[in-house]
Chains A and B, each alone.
Chain A
Amino acid sequence: MSRTAENYRGYNFAYLDEQTKRMIRRAILKAIAIPGYQVPFASREMPMPYGWGTGGVQVTAAILGPSDVLKVIDQGADDTTNAVSIRQFFEKTAGVETTTETEKATVIQTRHRIPEAKLQGHQVLVYQVPIPEPLRFLEPRETETRTLHALAEYGLMHVRLYEDIAQHGHIAKTYDYPVLVAHRYVMAPSPIPKFDNPKMHESAALQLFGAGREKRIYAIPPHTKVVSLDFEDHPFEATKFEQPCALCGATDSYLDEVITDDKGGRMFVCSDTHHCESRRAEGHVGRLGTPAAPVTEAAE
């Protein structure tokens, strides 16, 4: 803990006291035992605002050990402001090693994305969750939605998806697309794009979801079946992009649209910054990119 900054002196390793960590770990264990079930937990007030990742931060703080290597991403990127802020928080309070390399990390805290690289069994993916209840916008009352989950009564959700098909010809839900976990609970995957949904299915990594303001923790244990809700005649389809990444040429990654001028100019680049950088380091070059580190030949 040599790197612990001045103003964090006096706080425990990873900020939370051990009693609180124990309470959170119990909730996590229960969540793992009942995949997809939202476990209420006594969420604490954190030194960053609700809605800015307090649930994910509490889960990370509860599972982090001194030998862990932490990666924090927001929108897939390591250098977005809130990802920077959360990474610094753990650098200061836990003094753990941090990384931007997906493969090197043992704990990855994320907001809105799953890294492109396939996660491994020794890794834990911690999601920041704003609204953990997949049925919330169909039924605002917690008393009601808990009953619906208990009875596995998901007709409302199917009707909602069907109405989309009747109205638009397809399901008009592009992120936070509901999934069925281990044949039992319908679960909100947090606002990841539906592009990422298939990565949750039978992932080797443990996936933990923390919702601080709503005081819920849930989990997908490794190698668990995670199915995006759909209909036989309208099967789930992940978003596809019509063009490759302009920097690294990847055709299999999620892309952000970047507006480059005020005349309608735009380009598409990988949202996963580490994925893009490592591809460029390997020599892949997109339409507007330049090769990374080992300079081979100048791109356009």
Chain B
Amino acid sequence: MYVAVKGGERAIANAHRLLEHERRGDRNVPEIGTEQIDQQLSLAVDRVMSEGSLYDRGLAALAIKQARGDLIEAIFLIRAYRTTLPRFGFSQPLDTGRMAIRRRISSTYKDLPGGQVLGPTFDYTHRLLDFALAAEGDPAAPVTAPVDTEAHFPRVTDLIAQDDLIERNPPADPAKPVGDLTREPLAFPADRDLRLQNLARGDEGFLLALGYSTQRGYGRNHPFVGEIRMGEVEVEFEIPELGLTVSLGEVTLTECQMVNQFKGSLTEPAKFTRGYGLSFGHCERRAMSMSLVDRALRADELGEERKSPAQDEEFVLSHSDNIQATGFVEHLKLPHYVDFQAELALLRQMRREFTARNSDHHPEAAE
């Protein structure tokens, strides 16, 4: 006697309970706190905030804890939370030129106004496991220098622009509001504002691979790191009812301006062009990758031949979102037996027909 499988409801509840248990791990080991994640796994928090499109360190840390360190799962938690939040307006455009710099480097100039500021970076560390850290790490206090509040860090791209050697930033058009792909479905071709929004929340691994591919000849655009800067920028919000602008606080940002070659055209002299990358927190790899891909996606605008994946807007924008990607890939875990049954029936029919056909033609040699 056959009894159909039942009890999905209880199985789900029990699976979730087991998951909670596994998340906690050995209860003799102290539980990790969200402050610890925020402070000591801060780059993971930065990535979750960036791809989750929500600047909230506490919530990102909570999501990482709840997701057992699975960052895509944590990003998903943040996205699902973010989408329920009311929108009460838009901030003023951020001015990264007024950033309180913690790191700023340029690979196009040896020295420049404001200087090169290395800041906290893995660059030039030797990747040797620090076994002492396994016990505990109580590092020496950092070396400090007096803060020069008058110090000015002009953006490298603004310096080059003074000679008209690089394209200028397109002026803002107040009649054309900035798009938002979380409120309006993305349509193709997409304008650069939407492309940048898509890339800014895109999967770091995907952006990295695409950016890398442009360096290996799949949509090459001869990049130089004009500048990478990381630090705090004030977010300002205009309250129309009161007619004044208030500060909402500051966010940590990483900005990358890639400077790329442009050979010129019949109507335009040769000049440098730009690829732009921006990320919450300290996420240099994603800001750099984003700027490479942004520049590659401008192929049409700059009259370049479009033949590589990184230049293909529909391909890039449709597959950059890791929450969409992981959902659709992982949905293959769901039951598909109805469709599989239909395929089984067809396969059996085709094999029957194949056998019949072959035995007709070679009656004595039938398999």
Contacts and interface: CB of A to CB of B under 8 A. Distances in A.
A159 interface: no
A145 B342 CA distance: 27
Interface stretch (A117-125, A150-158, A255-263): A255-263
Interface string B179-221: 0001111111100000000000000000000000000000000
A85 B12 contact: yes
Interface residues of B, number: 49
Interface in B341-367: 341-346, 350, 353
A142 B314 contact: yes
A74 B334 contact: yes
A174 B84 contact: no
B324 interface: yes
Interface stretch (A29-37, A49-57, A101-109, A222-230): A49-57
Of B186, B323, B327, most buried by chain A (CB within 10 Å of CB) is B327
Contact of B341 (A49, A83, A193): A193
Nearest to B350: A168
A113 B342 CA distance: 12
B341 A45 contact: no
A50 B346 CA distance: 29
A175 B339 contact: yes
Interface stretch (B1-9, B150-158, B162-170, B285-293): B1-9
B345 to A, nearest CB: 6
Interface residues of A, number: 64
B7 to A, nearest CB: 8
Nearest to B2: A288
B137 interface: no
A169 B5 CA distance: 38
A76 interface: yes
Given A74-B334, A174-B339, A45 B188 contact: no
Given A49-B76, A50-B324, A50-B331, 9 more contacts: A54-B327, A76-B338, A82-B334, A130-B328, A174-B342, A174-B343, A213-B328, A215-B186, A254-B341
Interface of A: 11, 17, 40-47, 49-52, 54, 74-76, 79-85, 88, 111-113, 130, 140-143, 168-169, 172, 174-176, 191-195, 213, 215, 239, 241, 246-247, 254-258, 260, 267, 269, 271, 273, 288-290
9 contacts: A42-B182, A42-B185, A45-B80, A50-B328, A80-B8, A84-B12, A88-B9, A142-B314, A174-B343
